[in-house]
Amino acid sequence: MSLLIDPFANNLFLLRALLAGILVSASCAVVGTFMVLRGLAFIGDALAHGVLPGIAVAMLLGLPGIVGATFGALVMIGGITLITQRTRLSSDTAIGLLFVGMLALGVVIISRASSFSGDIVRILFGEILGINAQALWLQAAATLVVALTAWVCARPFLLLSFSPEQAQVAGFSARLYHSIMLGLIALAVIVSFQTVGTLLVFGMLLAPAGAGALIARRVETMILWAALIGSFSVYTGLLLSYYFNLAAGSTVVLTATAIFFAVLAVKNLQTASLPLSIENPDHAHEH
């Protein structure tokens, strides 16, 4: 039992990483569940990568990376809104254009700045073992904002997940609540990149929420399962990285992804065996 507890009890950096990871799991569970239900995975991926040039510019100017991430996310959301409202192009086209453009801009900025040689890995993969108390409080505040917003907007979010027209009929502005949802996705990305990086935050948004959607039927239960799976992935990933000297953030996300595929396999096995379980009573009755 000590092998499972001692690393966190005797190592402040690992304990802070665990707490930060649990907070990331909670915020990503809420946002990721609605992403999965609404089919917004592409925009989540785009935002996770689109903040890269903002972070790069902020670091060049000596500003906190989170300031640049916020600016990058605002540019992405503003650009998507502008293209979809002022042209006949679909939102997928707008997202794809900005995704590629912002990612390319980030790579160009980084390639021109020799000072990024040590920072690029931290930007892309996070520094979960370097989380300080201030970052923990920031993550806690962001998680609280995400949870409260999702609670207040639960009904319109749920209606939007199935049909924007139903949301309009019920008296909710589909455009307004879609924008709020995009803001929550951006907030989750902005505050989580410090922990797991811009490349891996998408995995924490999608894998636990996807597994939760396979297990549960109700949105509240999906979110709960996603938070539990995410937190377990953080705990297991950190333990594995501690004992086997692996990259912590990547191991956490790899664990979450492995759990998703394990849940998928179990669900497929249950579905495959269902006709047999229905037919057996009939055969028994015939005999």
CATH number, position 84: 1.10.3470.10
Domain count, the chain: 1
The CB-side HSE value for 83 (13 A sphere, CA atoms) comes to: 16
Q: Classify residue 162: in a domain, yes or no.
A: yes
Q: Classify residue 277: in a domain, yes or no.
A: no
- Find the Cα–Cα–Cα–Cα dihedral 109, 254, 99, 106, rounded to 10°: 0
pLDDT score of 278 = 47
Q: Classify residue 284: in a domain, yes or no.
A: no
With a cut of 80, say whether residue 12 has pLDDT above it. yes
* 72's tokens: 């990058």
100-137 core/surface letters (b: 16 or more CB in 10 A; e: else): eebbebbeebbeeeeebeebbebbbbbbbbebeeebbe
From 18-27, 38-47, 247-256, the region with the lowest mean pLDDT = 38-47
**Nearest-5° Cα angle at 15, 14 to 20:** 95
pLDDT score of 119 = 65
Residue 224 φ/ψ, nearest 5 degrees: -60, -45
Q: Classify residue 281: in a domain, yes or no.
A: no
Q: Classify residue 65: in a domain, yes or no.
A: yes
- Find the Cα–Cα–Cα–Cα dihedral 201, 23, 64, 33, rounded to 10°: 40
pLDDT digits (tens, 9 = 90+) for 156-189: 999 988 888 888 888 999 889 988 998 999 999 9
- DSSP 3-state assignment of 10? coil
The pTM assigned to this predicted structure is 0.86
Please compute the mean of the pLDDT values over residues 69-84 and round it to a whole number. Answer: 88
Residue 172 backbone zone (phi > 0: left; psi -120 to 50: alpha; other: beta): beta
With a cut of 70, say whether residue 213 has pLDDT above it. yes
Q: Classify residue 280: in a domain, yes or no.
A: no
Q: Classify residue 287: in a domain, yes or no.
A: no
Give the closest residue to 210 by CA, choosing from 170, 172, 257: 257
Q: Classify residue 273: in a domain, yes or no.
A: no
- DSSP 3-state assignment of 218? coil
The parent domain of residue 173 ranges over 2-268
Spatial separation of the C-alpha atoms in residues 198 and 181, rounded to whole Å: 19
* 101's tokens: 């453009």
Burial class (CB in 10 A: 0-12, 13-18, 19+), 196: buried
